[in-house]
Amino acid sequence: MATENYKLLKKESLPALFDKLTASGKTIYAPVKNGDKTEFDVVTKYSNDINDEYIQTVQSLKGTVFPKVEKLFDYKSDKTDTSIQEVDFSKFPQNVLWGLHPCDAAAFRPLDATFRWDYDDKYFLTRMKLTTVVGLSCSKHDDYCFCSSVDISPASGDGSDILLTKNKTGDYLVEIITEKGQEVYDMSKDLFGEISDDKESYITVVPKKFDLTELNKNLDGSFEAPYWLAQSMRCIGCGACAYVCPTCTCFDLQDEGSANKGSRIKCWDSCGFGHFTLHTSGHNPRETQSQRWRQRILHKFSYMPDRIKVFGCVGCGRCSRACPVDMNISENLIKIMEEPKNE
């Protein structure tokens, strides 16, 4: 452990740190307790409602870099003239994403790989560049969590600029991982102390359910396997899994407004919807729900690693928690590895 990159942040220093971040123009997103739930929200000050022991939120912070609905540009048009007004990229917010778990931090990798693949998506890349990720090691997990099965751990710093790990006294061990993380440290050095504690001992252990490399190999030649239909018989095609997924990137492009004035927007979509691939002619390459379930799994665990060298799943378990018919992704992945591909 290279100790020079590790610092101690006392719990009582958090209000001063949040004030400094806010004063420097940053927008802070943090996990905020609301009844028995915790969801990410914008905060300007530190408060005791900020929960550092939550298991998982319903929504990730994907929307801060890839908004659910994003305006691409405005247009004005009449018979003879059309003009496009681009959005002002310099006005994009400088976000600090505070206290998201290592699965969510790791989710920025597949997003980045997709939005950078040969064609740079300026909207995503600008937002990402202005984002500082302050990860939080997990002190708890539940049965839906499977990060350790997709090569992420409850204390991995991949995707984080700073990683916080809570210790027994309620203070944080702080690992400064990137230059962006260093900037946060540099602007508030006086709030950090030196460590005198061991990092690992306060972190939950998420049991490994399957081997990712084995799963990836196993999916080769699985296209006609009978399990796709068996697993998706109950799927109602609601798309909830995609809308809570921190790595799903499928989107739609639409116009909002009239012929004279309006905006082109990019908005989340899902490969689980029937109209997603529907041709104008009526032909649909993926017309059944089982074909769309197969696409979801193969895209994340076979096509993405093959094409952009990153898996499309971080084991956060959100899709399984959100599913109204209780389809559990990790259970289904285990079955895929156990069951025969041919009838």
Partner 1 sequence: MSNPNIYKPYLMKVEEVTEEAPFVKTFRLKFTNEEEAAKFNFRAGQFGEYSVAGEGESTFCIASSPTREGYIECTFRETGRVTSALANKEEGEIIGFRGPYGNTFPIDDWKGKNLLFIAGGIALPPMRCVIWNCLDLRENFKDFTIVYGAKNVNDLVYKHELKEWEDRPDVKLITTVDPGGETPDWKGEIGFVPTVLEKAAPSAENTIAIVCGPPIMIKYTFPILEKLGFKDTDIFTTLENRMKCGFGKCGRCNVGKVYICKDGPVFTYAELKKLPAEY
Residue ranges binding partner 1 (CB under 8 A): 72-73, 75, 77, 79-84, 86, 114-115, 117-123, 223, 249-255, 257-260, 262, 264, 266, 269, 271, 276-281, 283, 285-286, 291, 295, 298-299, 302-303, 306-307
Q: How far is the CB of 36 from partner 1 (least distance, A)?
A: 35
Give dist(CA 162, CA 135) in Å, integer: 6
Q: How far is the CB of 201 from partner 1 (least distance, A)?
A: 42
What does DSSP assign to residue 175? E
Residues in the chain: 343
Residue with tokens 């289904």: 332
Q: How far is the CB of 300 from partner 1 (least distance, A)?
A: 11
Q: How far is the CB of 270 from partner 1 (least distance, A)?
A: 9
Give dist(CA 78, CA 334) in Å, integer: 57
Give dist(CA 124, CA 65) in Å, integer: 6
Of 266 and 318, which has the nearer Cβ to partner 1? 266
Q: How far is the CB of 311 from partner 1 (least distance, A)?
A: 14
Of 175 and 269, which has the nearer Cβ to partner 1? 269
- Name the nearest CA neighbour of 197 among 176, 171, 177: 171
Q: At 54, phi and psi to the nearest 5?
A: -70, 155
Cβ atoms of 101 and 56 closer than 8 Å: yes
Of 59 and 263, which has the nearer Cβ to partner 1? 263
Of 119 and 168, which has the nearer Cβ to partner 1? 119
How far is residue 126 from each of residues 21, 232, 270, 310, measured CA to CA in Å?
A: 20, 38, 24, 21
Residue with tokens 């490969």: 271
Of 120 and 211, which has the nearer Cβ to partner 1? 120
